[in-house]
Structure 1
Amino acid sequence: MADVEVERRGSAVWIRLNRPERRNAYDAPMAQAVADALEAATTARSVVIAGAGGSFCAGGALTGLARPTVEEMRKLYRASLRLFDAVRQCPRPVIAAVGGAAAGGGNELVVACDLAVATRSATFGQTGPRVGSAPVTGATNVLSIQIGEKRAKEMAMLCRRYTAEQALGLGLVNEVVDDGALERRVGEICAEIEALSPRYLEITKTSSNVWWNAARDSFSTGLGMLVQAIGSPDMLEGANAFLEKRPPNFPDPT
C-alpha cells in the first residue's frame, strides 16, 4: 500500500494521503512524496489533496516523539516545510478536499491550500500546545490573514475543535457539502478551473502569495525554536500523553 496515491482525473491531479490507520498523519518520507507529486503536477490544470479512510490529515506523525532524536525531528520539520512550500509554489490551484479530521499540521495544510471544500462531518483545529509542540508553519502567522488575529490565536493556542460550519464562518474553507458529495463537488470546481487561463491563474496565485512570502522567515525561525525544544519536559509529556490517550500534565513555567 502506497502512503501517497496520485491519480490523474482529466485535467486534475488528485493526491491522496493513504495512512488511514493513523488518520493520514505524515512522516518525513510521506511529506516528501506529497511535495514530489505537487512539483510534478505542472501539466495539470488543478491539484486536489484528499485523505483516505474518513480522515483528511492529522499532521505530523507523533509516534516517534516519545523518544525523539534531533536528526529525526529535523527531517520531519524540514519535510513539513517543504510540503507547505510545494503547495504554495505549485503553479496550479491546489484544493483541499477535507473529509474527516484536519488536525495539527493537517489544519495547516488546509491553510496552505488555495481553496478548501469540507464535508459536514469534517473537523478542524490545531494541537500544538496540547501535544508539546507549536504550529509555526501557518497557524501562528498566515492563519491570521485568513480568519483574523484573535481567532487564529484562539485556534493555535487553545487547541479547540471546530465543525465544518464553524470553519466556513471563519473563512478557513470555501464550501461545506454533504458527506458523500465531496469528490463530485471538488470535481466540479476542477472543471470550472479547466475553463480558465492557466497562465493567468499562475500569475494570480503567485501574486496572492504575498502574505505567505512575508511570513516565510517566521516558519524557519519557528522550526529552529522547535529544534531547540526537542527532548524538553513539555515535549516529552505532551507526546507521551497523546500516545497514552490521557490528559497531559505539563510542568509549571520556571
Structure 2
Amino acid sequence: MSSVGVSVEDVGGVVRIRLERPERRNAYDLGMAKAMIEGLQSASRAEAVVISGSGGSFCAGGALGQLSDPDPEELRELFTTSLRLVDAIRACPRPVIAAVDGAAAGGGNELVIACDFAIATRRSTFGQTGPKVGSAPVLGATNLASVQIGEKRAKEMSFMCRRYTAEQACAMGLINEVVPDGMLDDGVDRWLAEIHELSPRYLEIAKVSSNMWWNASKDNMQAGLESLIQAIGSEDMREGAQAFLEKRKPRFRDAARPVGTA
C-alpha cells in the first residue's frame, strides 16, 4: 500500500512504514499521518513494525509550512491526528522499531520516544524544535521522555532544543543501539530475528503492561494539545515557523508584550 509521502509494505511478516518526502526531511502532513496510522493498525497479524525515513533523514515532525499562515481547522486536525499517531504506535500489539538514519527532529524525535525500540546509524541526530519554532513538544518529549531519559535531561531536550548525537542518545536511553553508517538494515534485521524467536502472544502482553507510563501521560498529552490548539495563529507560532522557512533566527521578543500572552 502506498500513499502520498508514505509507503507501507508487508515484507516477510514485517510491516515496513517508510516516510518518503526527503525534500522536506520527511516532515509529515495530515495525509501522511493518517497513512502511518493505517499501516500500524494493519499490523495486528505481523511480527513487528519498522518505521523509517528516506533520503538521509528520519523525520522532521509536522510540516512547518502550515504554521506560518495557519488554517485553524486544518492545523487542529493535524495536531489531533499526531496524537492518534503516537498512540497508534503504543496501541499496536506488535513491537514497533524506529530505524533512524539521519535527523529525528521535533515530532520525528517524539516518534522515536513512542516506539518500543530505536536503532540508529552513527550519523543520526536527535532533538526537539518546539520553543525554537513557536510550538511545544507535548506528545512525548515533555512527559514520557522524563521516564526514558530522566526529568532534567528531558527538560533540557524539550526546552532548549539542543541536538544530540546517536551515541549521546544511546547513552541517555533514548535509543537502543547505534550501528555504523550504511548498516541500518543489518542492525534492524538482527532485532527482527530475535523477535521472530519470541512468543507473539506474550510479547503483546508484555507490551500492554509496559504502557503503564504512556497511559499515565495521555491526559497530560491531551491537555498540552488543547493548549497548542488555543495558541494557533499566535505571534510566536507565525514568527517561529517563518524564521524556520527563511533559515534565520526567530525574533520572538521584538513585539513588547507581557510574558505568557499570545
TM-score, length basis structure 2 = 0.95
CA shift digits 1:122-168 (9 cap, x unpaired):
00000000000000000000000000000000000000000000001
- Partner of 1:42, secondary structure, is coil
CA distance in 2, matches of 1:196, 1:2: 34
Contact 2:13–2:48 (CA<8 Å) still a contact in 1? yes
Amino acid at match of 1:172: L
Q: Paired residue for 2:26?
A: 24
- Partner of 2:162, secondary structure, is coil
Q: Structure 1: which 4+ aligned runs deviate by more than 6 Å?
A: none
CA distance in 2, matches of 1:105, 1:253: 29
Q: How far is 1:2 from its partner?
A: 3.7
Q: Paired residue for 2:252?
A: 250
1:215 equivalent among 205, 212, 217: 217
Q: How far is 1:8 from its partner?
A: 1.9
Q: Paired residue for 2:184?
A: 182
Amino acid at match of 1:112: A
Contact 1:11–1:194 (CA<8 Å) still a contact in 2? no
CA distance in 2, matches of 1:79, 1:206: 22
Q: Paired residue for 1:172?
A: 174
Q: Paired residue for 2:105?
A: 103
CA distance in 1, matches of 2:14, 2:74: 34
- Partner of 2:171, secondary structure, is helix
CA distance in 2, matches of 1:48, 1:4: 13
Amino acid at match of 1:56: F
Q: How far is 1:11 from its partner?
A: 2.5
Q: How far is 1:6 from its partner?
A: 1.3
1:61 equivalent among 63, 66, 75: 63
Q: How far is 1:253 from its partner?
A: 5.3
1:230 equivalent among 214, 232, 241: 232
- Partner of 1:64, secondary structure, is helix
Give runs of aligned pairs for residues 25-104 of structure 1, distance below 5 A: 25-104=27-106
Amino acid at match of 2:211: N
Structure 1, unaligned runs of 5 or more: none
How many corresponding residue pairs?
Answer: 254
Contact 2:4–2:31 (CA<8 Å) still a contact in 1? no
- Partner of 1:116, secondary structure, is strand
Give runs of aligned pairs for residues 186-205 of structure 1, distance below 5 A: 186-205=188-207
- Partner of 1:56, secondary structure, is strand
TM-score, length basis structure 1 = 0.98
CA distance in 2, matches of 1:14, 1:120: 22
Contact 1:97–1:118 (CA<8 Å) still a contact in 2? yes
Amino acid at match of 1:187: D
Q: Does 1:142 align with 2:144?
A: yes
CA distance in 1, matches of 2:94, 2:59: 21
Contact 1:4–1:33 (CA<8 Å) still a contact in 2? yes
Structure 2, unaligned runs of 5 or more: none
CA shift digits 1:30-69 (9 cap, x unpaired):
0010010000011111110000111000000011111112
Contact 2:4–2:32 (CA<8 Å) still a contact in 1? no
Q: Paired residue for 1:115?
A: 117
CA distance in 1, matches of 2:257, 2:164: 29
Contact 2:117–2:176 (CA<8 Å) still a contact in 1? yes
